[in-house]
A = this chain, B = another copy of it.
Amino acid sequence: MQRVSFEQMHDELVRVLSKVGLQDQRAELCARLFAEASLDGVYSHGLNRFPSFIRDIRDGHVDVDASPTRIDGNHLLEQWDGNLGPGNLNAYESMDRAIQLARENGVGCVALRNTNHWMRGGSYGWQAAEAGLIGMCWTNTTPNLPPWGSTEARVGNNPLVIAVPRPSGHVVLDMAMSQYSYGKLETYRRENRELPLAGGFNKAGQLTTDPAAIEETGRVLPIGYWKGSGLALVLDMMASVLSGGDATYQIGQKSTERGISQVFFALKPGNSGISASQVDAIIHYVKQAQPAQPGDDVYYPGEQTVLRRRENLEKGIPVDPEYWNQVQAM
């Protein structure tokens, strides 16, 4: 397996980003967010996503010079326009603003419209947690998930991120409303494996673990059946009405997924702060639960990320030569 160091990947991405016009600091941050996604094992939204991000810039879908500008809002619930800038930079800046607001007021909310794909959503959870605050954010997407009761993709998978800071390893949940991503289905199909659990419907309308059968119908399963379907819908509604931006139905009318809407919360409790010992105690209790099978373990969200990060820092980040070569040739 080919591995490259974090620094090598970062520097290579900076080189390409500078070439397509990102200014110094912006190229640095953008490269760091992509490289950190791969470092943490989220390869699909790290290096592997980078070539299509560059294509979006070259096709004029992403404006490398644009930053969010404040539009309106109600005191601590601010509305910003992303001006179709790079999605990860826009999201980072929005969470940064929410953190500032929360430091002064306990809570801050930034609703961002007219932005682009934020790549790895978890990045902005880690960002808040690193700052010592609770972070919560979500995005809408193009229609890619059939609502419960339908065969037609008319809600987004609208990833939701929640982060709680913890000195010995932040807790970061990063979950889409679909049970498995299309990328995951493809991976299982290529490896000729069944999904471990039902992930969608086949042509006969039955739940199945066959990835190819789900890809054929496009009927991926919302988490918790009707529950994830409803949660996806209200996340889209909130993202749209809080930001004044486009909802999933409008994003679906565009030639590519762009001009989407996002919400960023930061929370900072008062004098007592966030009790590290309480967060540790909660995790300790859950991890002591009786395993379902010998060798099973209960993981808290973010736990495996830290393990993967440590391994990849030490050994280098595994890269798919297809993508790595593409980037090096850019």
Contact = CB atoms under 8 A, between A and B. Distances in A.
A26 interface: no
A87 interface: no
Contact of A282 (B173, B236, B289, B298): B236
Given A173-B234, A272-B72, A301-B233, A249 B152 contact: no
A111 interface: yes
Given A227-B175, A242-B134, A74 B106 contact: yes
Copies in the complex: 2
B173 A230 contact: yes
B233 A300 contact: yes
A212 interface: no
Given A267-B242, A298-B150, A171 B76 contact: no
Contact of A77 (B72, B78, B268, B299): B268
B224 A228 contact: yes
A107 B136 CA distance: 14
A183 interface: no
B147 A269 contact: no
Interface stretch (A29-37, A50-58, A273-281, A311-319): A273-281
Contacts of A104: 75
A109 interface: yes
Interface of A is mostly: mixed
Interface residues on A, range: 35 or more
A14 B105 CA distance: 40
Interface string A250-271: 0000000000000000011111
Contacts of A164: 234, 237-238, 241
Contact of A79 (B76, B151, B269, B301): B269
A269 B227 contact: no
Interface string A282-296: 100110111111001
Given A149-B297, A150-B296, A171-B237, A109 B111 contact: no
A223 B233 contact: no
Interface in A182-229: 197-198, 201, 205, 207, 222-225, 227-228
